[in-house]
Amino acid sequence: MVSDGITGTASPTFAKRGRLADAVIEHLTNAIVTGVYPVGKSLPTETALCDMYQVSRTVIREVSTTLAEKGLIISQQGRGTIVQEQSKWNLLDSTVLAALFRREDGLTYLDSLIEIRLLLECAMSAKAAERITDDEITALRGILARLKSLASDPLAYGKADLDFHDFIMEVSGNQLGRAIINGIQGQALATRDYHGHPTATDIKATHLAHEAIVDAIARHDAKGASQAMHDHIEGSWKHRRRIAD
């Protein structure tokens, strides 16, 4: 074990965590995004980082290059490596995004995620209602039936829920929107505030919402599908956020 050089506590030996650079990148990204290294301040010197993480200069230089590509740092003559302002950060980068959700103000970023989901998924649900074929309706009803069979298992239901939403996005034909939602939601799912701890009552309410979405899409009711998806996403988040607060 070595001191992490940030909190003064011991951190795992990075040599045991797969690729050295990846482990250090994740650790430093989290430290920058959560404010351990504030905007405008310098990171420790290359030598200090080598000692801190017990890695070579080659690894630290690779780390620095990657952090710069993420927009987190910039090298300045005479000042060293400086943490950039947040407007420069690549907020869609998976490592940066995961760290944002772990911040004290992480709920505000989850709120933003919900806004994005409402804008994109409601539109995609409407498009799915317009485009869906009879075979796809049968497949969607099959997913809904599978969800119903998992109602007593919140963890399994949650995983199948992702398949439900992804299928609708796929049917919509908006592959860019699908990629954006899946990318940012994947990081949010790792946070307790986002997925919560659904009860049997929560699952029942969620399933009723899923049924309303499927019914509207199967009727080719674009407006109804959009509204049903809106009610589902907004209602679920209001409940989870209230618990998180």
Question: Is 223 found in the same domain as 118?
Answer: yes
Report how far residue 164's alpha carbon sits from residue 233's, in angstroms, rounded to the nearest whole number.
13
Question: Is 118 found in the same domain as 80?
Answer: no
What token pair was written down for 238? 């209001």
pTM: 0.79
- Of all helices (H) and strands (E), which one includes residue 205? helix 200-218
User: In terms of Cα–Cα distance, which of 134, 169, 154 is closest to 199?
Assistant: 154
Q: What is the pLDDT of residues 156-209, one digit of tens each?
A: 998 999 999 999 999 999 999 999 999 888 888 777 777 667 788 889 999 999
How many domains does the structure of the chain reveal?
2
Examine the fold and report which residue of 88, 117, 133 is the final residue of a domain before the chain moves on.
Answer: 88
Examine the fold and report which residue of 63, 88, 113 is the final residue of a domain before the chain moves on.
Answer: 88
Are 89 and 96 in contact by the 8 Å Cβ rule? The answer is yes
Q: What is the pLDDT of residues 38-76, one digit of tens each?
A: 999 999 999 999 999 999 999 999 999 999 999 999 999
**Is residue 174 in some structural domain?**
yes
CATH at 41: 1.10.10.10
Are 206 and 236 in contact by the 8 Å Cβ rule? The answer is yes
Q: Which residues pair with 134 in a beta bridge?
A: none
CB neighbours (10 Å) of residue 96? 21
Domain extent at residue 199: 105-244
CATH at 233: 1.20.120.530
Question: Is 75 found in the same domain as 121?
Answer: no
**Is residue 141 in some structural domain?**
yes
Question: Is 114 found in the same domain as 55?
Answer: no
Examine the fold and report which residue of 24, 55, 88 is the final residue of a domain before the chain moves on.
Answer: 88
Question: Is 146 found in the same domain as 83?
Answer: no
Report how far residue 152's alpha carbon sits from residue 213's, in angstroms, rounded to the nearest whole number.
21
